Amino acid sequence: MSDHDAERRKLWDLIEQIGFCMLTTFNGSDLKARPMSAYAVPLENSIYFLTDVASHKDEEIGQHPHVCLAYADSKHQKYVSISGAAVIQNDREKIREFWAIPAKA
């Protein structure tokens, strides 16, 4: 395994272990961050979130798709920050796949 592959695996492991992140969006004038339960799928190079269709974050992402995800495990001093483009989807199969007791809360 190359150094790059090992670093990539470590990144995905941290994302999966921490599980929750602050999702930061832009509404055109301000940055807004909110805690979200994240569902990492390394094979797809994707991180999914379940969200209320009526939430402002969907509208913000639709208008300004660049977001930042900040993960923190302060107990172990491990942190991850990722920036990228978000896409709003309504994939019912994915929703069923990720729907669980913690997501219902």
Give me the percent of the chain exceeding a pLDDT of 90: 67
Mean pLDDT taken over the chain = 89
In a domain, 102, yes or no: no
pLDDT greater at residue 104 or residue 59: 59
Residue 16, C-beta contacts closer than 8 angstroms, at least 6 positions apart: 40, 42
Question: Whats the size of the chain, residue-wise?
Answer: 105
> Which pLDDT score, from 0 to 100, does residue 100 have?
64
Distances from the Cα of 64 to the Cα of 4, 32, 48, 60, 88, angstroms: 30, 12, 17, 6, 11
In a domain, 90, yes or no: yes
Backbone torsions φ then ψ of 19, nearest 5 degrees: 80, -40
pLDDT band at residue 102 under the 50/70/90 scheme: low
In a domain, 29, yes or no: yes
In a domain, 105, yes or no: no
Task: Calculate mean pLDDT across residues 53-66.
Answer: 88
In a domain, 92, yes or no: yes
Entry pTM = 0.84
pLDDT greater at residue 63 or residue 98: 63
In a domain, 35, yes or no: yes
36 pLDDT more than 90: yes
Give the residue numbers spanning the domain of 36: 3-97
CA contacts within 13 A on the Cβ side of 19: 4
In a domain, 12, yes or no: yes
42 pLDDT more than 90: yes
Total domain count, the chain: 1
In a domain, 87, yes or no: yes
Q: What is the CATH number of the domain that holds 32?
A: 2.30.110.10
Among candidate residues 31, 33, 16, the one with its CA nearest the CA of residue 80 = 16
